[in-house]
Amino acid sequence: MSEQKKPAEAMQALLALMARLRDPETGCPWDRAQDFASIAPYTIEEAYEVADAIERNRLDELRDELGDLLFQVVFHSRMAEEQGLFDFAAVAEGIVEKMIRRHPHVFGDKAYDDLAAQQADWEAIKAAEKGVDDQPKSRMDGVAAGLPEWMRALKLQKRAARVGFDWPDAQGPLENVREELAELEEAMSKPDAPPARVEEELGDVLFSVINLARKLEVDPGRALRGCNRRFEQRFRRMEQQAATPLEQLDAEALETLWQQAKRVSGSDQTP
């Protein structure tokens, strides 16, 4: 193992590597061909892989996943530098300045009575940073359109809840889930229902389920990741337990294998 570098040296090496990859003459053809739009999906994917490593408590994988995510930041910064927009130093300086500004209780003499007061001031500081004027603004402003839709739904719901547009407890959104499911079932029961109507009703179901998760204080992304993991584990067990390839089995045989895999999964002690 090579001697561990100091953070500044390691960062400089990464920046130099990115510059080499993007070199117009000697760089990598794939890296040179990329732009902000083509790289953005990888950035999102790497962020999710960081979350996945943490969720699975695989801290041995976390270093590599964080490195992959940092590489994405460096990649975007390098492309911006090539266009004369900004560079990595500006990105780092900007976040330092922002965090100092948003933590006056740490870097100044501001004091808060509780976390709610601190959060309210945080939002006020963010609004001031965006140059909020005296003109009325929607509470929906600032919720990025590029977020995964389940995350955007959650943020929109939280924005609405700030003005009291919310249920007092989880029972309200639970009933709403049932109502939306009934409307979806009604749309599905009509042979002449346009696909757009079914899609709309299904969207309402998904939105209401996320709202229920919010009221239950359950992270919907984490809940779905857990569900995906269980499904994958159980399906892999089906493949292992089947005497023939799954595509050669009928629906009844597949269901039997699935129920067996669920019982095994229920008895597992591993995450």
User: 111-149 in b/e burial notation, b at 16+ Cβ within 10 A?
Assistant: eeeeeeebeebeeeeeeeeeeeeeeeeeeeeebeeeeee
Tens of pLDDT along 97-111? 999 999 999 999 999
Q: Which of 60, 55, 62 lies closest to 227 in space, CA to CA?
A: 55
> Is 112 within a domain?
no
The band of 212, judged by pLDDT with boundaries at 50, 70 and 90, is very high
Q: In terms of domains, do 183 and 251 share one?
A: no
Q: In terms of domains, do 187 and 228 share one?
A: no
- Alpha-helical runs (H) found in the chain: 7-21, 29-33, 36-55, 59-82, 88-102, 104-107, 115-129, 149-161, 171-189, 195-215, 220-241, 251-267
Q: In terms of domains, do 238 and 170 share one?
A: no
**Distance of alpha carbon 69 from alpha carbon 147, whole angstroms:** 17
> Is 113 within a domain?
no
Total domain count, the chain: 3
Any idea what the CATH number is for the domain that residue 174 is in? 1.10.287.1080
Question: Residues 6 or more apart from 107 whose CB is under 8 A from it?
Answer: 100
Global pTM reads: 0.67
Q: In terms of domains, do 60 and 92 share one?
A: yes
For residue 212 the two structure tokens come to: 């229920």
> Is 26 within a domain?
yes
**Distance of alpha carbon 100 from alpha carbon 186, whole angstroms:** 53
8 A C-beta contact, residue 51 and residue 41: no
The band of 58, judged by pLDDT with boundaries at 50, 70 and 90, is very high
Q: Is 59 exposed, middle or buried (0-12, 13-18, 19+ CB in 10 A)?
A: exposed
| Residue 268: pLDDT over 70 | no
User: 227-237 in b/e burial notation, b at 16+ Cβ within 10 A?
Assistant: eeeeeebbeeb
Q: List the domain range (segments joined by +) for residue 60.
A: 7-100
Q: Torsion angle, CA of 27/28/29/32, rounded to 10 degrees? A: -70
Query: Which of 65-69, 70-74, 119-123, 226-230 shows the lowest per-residue confidence on average (mean pLDDT)?
Result: 119-123
What pLDDT does residue 266 have? 66
8 A C-beta contact, residue 234 and residue 265: yes
SS3 label, residue 232: helix
Average pLDDT over residues 261-268: 76
> Is 125 within a domain?
no
Q: In terms of domains, do 91 and 155 share one?
A: no
**Distance of alpha carbon 235 from alpha carbon 257, whole angstroms:** 9
What pLDDT does residue 1 have? 43
For residue 73 the two structure tokens come to: 């930041």
> Is 208 within a domain?
yes
